[in-house]
Chain A
Amino acid sequence: SQQGEEDPQALSIQEGENATMNCSYKTSINNLQWYRQNSGRGLVHLILIRSNEREKHSGRLRVTLDTSKKSSSLLITASRAADTASYFCATEQGGKLIFGQGTELSVKP
């Protein structure tokens, strides 16, 4: 079963703009992770935020976590064409990751 629901399903922006993707989940979590998947490739880990953290940064990425609302957001600032990919949130429960459906991001040059 899918734990995370992501919104929007697809997002198209111009290079230089910011992209925000949201993830909601249903049950208590230990941590929440974001992964990127380029077309036809495996997933690449981007960032992990633990349940006792509210915000985390990594380069152009900013992740927030609101455990009271059971939601997280991923912000990519100053987007580039190379950011075009699918982005997945994954929640860790009972020692395994449960992935959402993903947001397909398209960054136009």
Chain B
Amino acid sequence: EAGVAQSPRYKIIEKRQSVAFWCNPISGHATLYWYQQILGQGPKLLIQFQNNGVVDDSQLPKDRFSAERLKGVDSTLKIQPAKLEDSAVYLCASTPSGGAPDTQYFGPGTRLTVL
């Protein structure tokens, strides 16, 4: 079974530029999560999708971050414009069902550096 795929693995941009990350969850997984992990900290949930609907985006900085999962499969997370404090690893995870997250399956992450 293929795991969660993410691209790119690394991205370096200047502040005020835009960037997009892509995630393809495990086939059949209805729930998809985007996390932000700042160096030295645990992952922080940004947004949770159930199929193509948003379940929780309470911690997503909506003035600059956006995410979509139009067909309920893969997802993109965008930052526009980026700030220095957005430097982090962006992790995507998925689970089979929409219930309580017993086990989340994580992708390798995208490491973003904002200069």
In contact, A96 and B106 (Cβ under 8 angstroms): no
Q: Is B42 touching A30 in the complex (CB atoms < 8 A)?
A: no
User: A residues bordering B, Cβ < 8 Å?
Assistant: 2, 4, 30-31, 33, 35, 40-45, 48, 88, 90, 92, 95-102
Query: Which of the residues B42, B100, B101, B102 comes within 8 Å of A100, measured between beta carbons?
Result: B42
Given A33-B103, A96-B101: A42 in contact with B108 (beta carbons within 8 A): yes
User: A101 touches which one: B40, B99, B104, B111 (CB < 8 A)?
Assistant: B40
Q: Which 6 pairs between the two chains have the least Cβ-Cβ distance?
A: A99-B42, A42-B106, A43-B106, A45-B103, A42-B108, A99-B43
Q: Which of A40, A44, A96, A102 contacts B42 (CB 8 A)?
A: A102
Q: State whether A31 and B99 are in contact (beta carbons under 8 Å apart), knowing that A42-B4, A97-B45 are contacts in the complex.
A: no
Instruction: Please name all residues of chain A whose beta carbon is closer than 8 Å to the beta carbon of B104 when the two chains form the complex.
Output: 43, 45, 97
Residues of A near B109 (CB, < 8 A) are: 40-42
B102 x A31 contact (CB < 8 A) = yes
Are the CB atoms of B56 and A96 closer together than 8 Å? yes
Q: Taking the nearest CB of chain A, how far is it from the CB of B29, in angstroms?
A: 14
Q: Beyond the given A35-B106, A45-B104, A95-B48, please list 14 additional residue pairs across the A-B interface where CB-CB is below 8 A.
A: A2-B42, A31-B100, A42-B4, A42-B93, A43-B43, A48-B102, A48-B103, A92-B100, A95-B55, A95-B100, A96-B48, A97-B104, A98-B45, A102-B42
Distance A33 CA – B99 CA, assembled complex (angstroms):
16
Q: Please report the C-alpha to C-alpha distance between residue A48 and residue B103 in the assembled complex, in whole angstroms.
A: 8
Tell me the minimal C-beta distance from B26 to chain A in angstroms: 12
Q: Which residues of B contact A40 (CB under 8 A)?
A: 109, 111
Could you say which residues of chain A place their CB within 8 Å of the CB of B88? none
- CA A31 – CA B102 in complex, angstroms? 8
